[in-house]
Structure 1
């Protein structure tokens, strides 16, 4: 592989990797955090749909059930600059450990949304959301999805 310093050598014991202020979310693609087999195990019936809201990268899948009322969207959003403490909710967030990550599960202030926020760093998290009719009923599938996403996280 060509390098800009042809002929130069570097002592690996004294060199440091370049430091950056980038968040762990910058190297992630939310659509890659849920494999097609994991998505199928959750009942996903559509392909991943990438979204971008401002600086937030996200991905959505649809889970179609027998009735429209039981169908919902499953989403994964990369939240740079938000922490678990920032979990915005009218109800008390439930603290969880998912794999090696700290997490919280909460009902959004917007009706019909349950969120499982997984901590990536002191200033970033991944939100796994289930959006539909009854947010409380959607907390189980949101948690199931979060357990499948967590092993893919740094």
Structure 2
């Protein structure tokens, strides 16, 4: 489950996110599943709400909510931050809005989901979206995802 990108931006939205996540986590459990929260990435320019510390608000909301409802949190937003820290020039967001992921951002998110849910390292995976993700970029994003997951959970998953 994931909230809207603006969920962490105000106390009211944070409260609604937490309440909705709790309600849906109960529904997921009733249906026999396990709830999982997909931590979103922060906005970047040219989005008007982009700010350097936005990931802190996002991460705190998802971690706190995940702890409260006993749900796995997938640290996609933290993986984006780590990729940008290592390679500031990488383009993980769509250039037209600074919120939606680019192909590389989607690839990084998928690698982070894989490592988080399945406990399998994405490093070395040959999938490249029909040749659209260059091998060097794929390897970099796989490593970022794996490193982020290990750091987030405090261990290999």
Per the shorter chain, which TM-score range?
Answer: 0.3 to 0.5
After TM superposition, the score normalised by the length of structure 2 is 0.33
Between structures 1 and 2, the one with greater strand share: 1
Between structures 1 and 2, the one with greater helix share: 2
After TM superposition, the score normalised by the length of structure 1 is 0.33
